[in-house]
Amino acid sequence: MDLNLLVYLDVLLREKNVTKAAGQLNITQPAMSNGLKRLRNLLNDPILVRTSEGMVPTERARELAPIVRGVLLTLEETLQPNKDFEPEQSQRVFRIMASDYAASTLIPVLLKKMRVLAPNTSLDIMTPSDVNFHDVENGKVDMAINRFDQLPQSFHQKTVWRDTFSCLINAKNPVLARFNLDSYLKAQHIWVSKTGFGVGVGMDPKDVQKLGWVDEALAHLGKQRNISVFTRNYHVAMHLSVGMDLIATLPTRAARLYENDPSMAIMDPPFVIPAIELKMIWSPLLHQDASHIWFRRLITEVAEELN
């Protein structure tokens, strides 16, 4: 068997488009079409079938996809050159996908360390909507730091830290006179959440399943809060809570960015919200890379210091 066909099959099943797959491998569209024809003959299966929704993998192709991906990742990981990394001399650009929660709490301290230990390196910080799982899997992004509901099994992962929730409230907000569940529910709130990858969609206040941790915790109590603003950005939520009578219930590390601001109060929520985990994930292709190993260790050290 021509092992190049495994590469063709892997890209075809990810792109589900002959032209896009050819572009990924920098070959011509006819060459990719020929590769698909050879795969069909070899496996005695159509592999991809054209439907009204585009090219759809067959059942046989879906069974093969994770196996082929795993074989190729293992091979690429094994053949990666293992050079020593000298941070003082390196000019490497480390590319991170980070939520603004991670970017505002972890990244400033990480960057300060990098400026000392690896002064010529730089950070390229992207938002969750800038990249997808394929970008991480293919090593185009060194690290994704966020909260994730589900992850592909091929990814390496490590918990950066666990965080509780706090309420950020304007110090003049009357709700503080008697802050309890009843007054919390009567107040107006800012909803903020962003997980995983991809562009977000509009929110429905009635769809508790999609509202996330805070509202799910309230739903278990048979309660619902009054949400005035929906945002995917923690800094927007914090800024709005500073100047208005809106409560922002958000991870404690984010709320503590305002702990020295006398105009703001940080309160424990008047109900139990399960803690969240901030994780870093990376591709198997980068797992043995010396510079990546150094970078992962540095992130871990910074997280431990902040803990």
Q: Which two three-digit tokens encode residue 83?
A: 């050079």
Compute the C-alpha angle 107/287/20, nearest 5°: 90
Q: What is the model's pLDDT at position 199? A: 47
Q: What is the model's pLDDT at position 206? A: 61
Name beta bridge partners: 168.
Answer: 248, 266
Q: What is the pLDDT along the chain (307 residues), one digit of tens a residue?
A: 788 899 999 999 988 999 999 888 888 999 999 999 999 999 999 999 998 888 899 999 999 988 898 888 778 767 766 668 899 999 999 999 998 899 999 999 999 999 999 999 999 999 888 888 888 888 889 999 998 877 877 889 999 999 999 999 999 999 999 999 999 999 999 998 755 555 455 555 566 556 788 999 999 999 999 999 988 888 889 989 987 899 999 999 999 999 999 999 999 999 999 999 999 999 988 888 899 999 999 999 999 999 8
Burial class (CB in 10 A: 0-12, 13-18, 19+), 150: exposed
Identify whether the C-beta of residue 278 lies closer than 8 Å to the C-beta of residue 163.
yes
Q: What is the model's pLDDT at position 294? A: 95
Q: What is the model's pLDDT at position 138? A: 84
Identify whether the C-beta of residue 206 lies closer than 8 Å to the C-beta of residue 168.
no
Q: What is the model's pLDDT at position 196? A: 52
Closest CA to 190 of 214, 217, 155: 214
Q: Which residue has the tokens 């292709």?
A: 285
CA dist list (Å): 265 to 155, 174, 241: 39, 12, 10
Q: What is the model's pLDDT at position 25? A: 87
> In whole angstroms, what is the distance from residue 220 CA to residue 175 CA?
23
